[in-house]
Chain A
């Protein structure tokens, strides 16, 4: 199974941009890259996903490397409510392979 690696934790200041990296060197051509986040005692919440091209939505941007072996989730202006564990996930068919996640702390 394709795996992802992420830093264990990151810190950001409020209202500054945050770049969360993910490595997925064994990704296959049909794997989608999904990002979810999880607040304490809650289920994961969808953030964004993509296949090859960079993607933007109201929550974030996803930058995918040309060789697709890595990607970066970009939060344009971090708020205190963005403090969560962020998971980079490879999706092939019905399988979602969760990585260990990055715990993002946002400092006021």
Chain B
């Protein structure tokens, strides 16, 4: 049981390049989330997927797109990377029903945009 896995662990991009961050969970959770964490700050929600086939914007969605490929996988795409997107990106999953449950987080992807 690996929990939430993320690839890659580290990435360096040049301004304008694109990339996709991958996330997968093996806990059969319906909901999945993408967050970013800037140095010394808390996490901010980028996008979430309440269930397979649905996605919604969070607090800071500009510059990102997401795909809920299936129940296990939720990817985050940067179409044209900017230095302001330098951050650590965390994926999380959660089962919402029947109770309000906790999120399980992946180890993060550290992204630097030059």
Contact = CB atoms under 8 A, between A and B. Distances in A.
Contacts of A99: 42
Contacts of A87: 42-43
Interface residues of A, number: 22
B111 to A, nearest CB: 14
Which label, helix, strand, loop or mixed, suits the secondary structure of the A interface? Answer: strand
Contacts of B33: 94, 96
B105 A94 contact: no
A49 to B, nearest CB: 6
Contacts of B59: 1, 95, 97
Contacts of A91: 100
B42 A95 contact: no
A94 B31 contact: yes
Interface of B: 4, 31, 33, 41-45, 48, 50, 56, 58-59, 90, 92, 96, 100, 102-108
